[in-house]
């Protein structure tokens, strides 16, 4: 079950939190949910839902892109 929490960093601290799905920087309020692979932080309900419904199903917690994908992307990129 996800729980809403607040980032307790002081104004002078440089503690940055990022959403586990979209990568958005989270300034104050965030969702934290525990999974078998550990806790994850999300910026909102939409990202948490997408993580459950798509990311875990299609990619899984230990997903890494295939080797050489950066070279294939650069080759197909329009210059």
Q: What is the dihedral of CA 63, 69, 74, 77, to 10 degrees?
A: -70
Rounded to the nearest integer, the mean pLDDT of the chain is 88
Domain carrying residue 49: 3-76
Cβ atoms of 30 and 20 closer than 8 Å? no
Between 4 and 60, the more confident residue is: 4
pLDDT digits (tens, 9 = 90+) for 28-58: 899 999 988 889 999 999 999 999 999 888 8
Is residue 79 very low, low, confident or very high in pLDDT (cuts 50, 70, 90)?
low
What pLDDT score was predicted for residue 75?
85
The number of folded domains in the chain is 1
The 38-42 sheet, strands edge to edge: 3-6, 29-35, 38-42
């Amino acid at each position: 079950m996800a729980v809403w929490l607040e980032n307790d960093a002081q104004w002078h601290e440089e503690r940055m939190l990022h959403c586990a799905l979209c990568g958005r920087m989270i300034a104050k309020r965030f969702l934290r949910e525990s999974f078998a692979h550990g806790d994850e932080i999300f910026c909102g309900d939409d990202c948490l839902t997408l993580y459950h419904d798509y990311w875990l199903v299609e990619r899984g917690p230990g997903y890494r892109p295939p080797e050489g994908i950066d070279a294939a992307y650069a080759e197909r990129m329009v210059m």
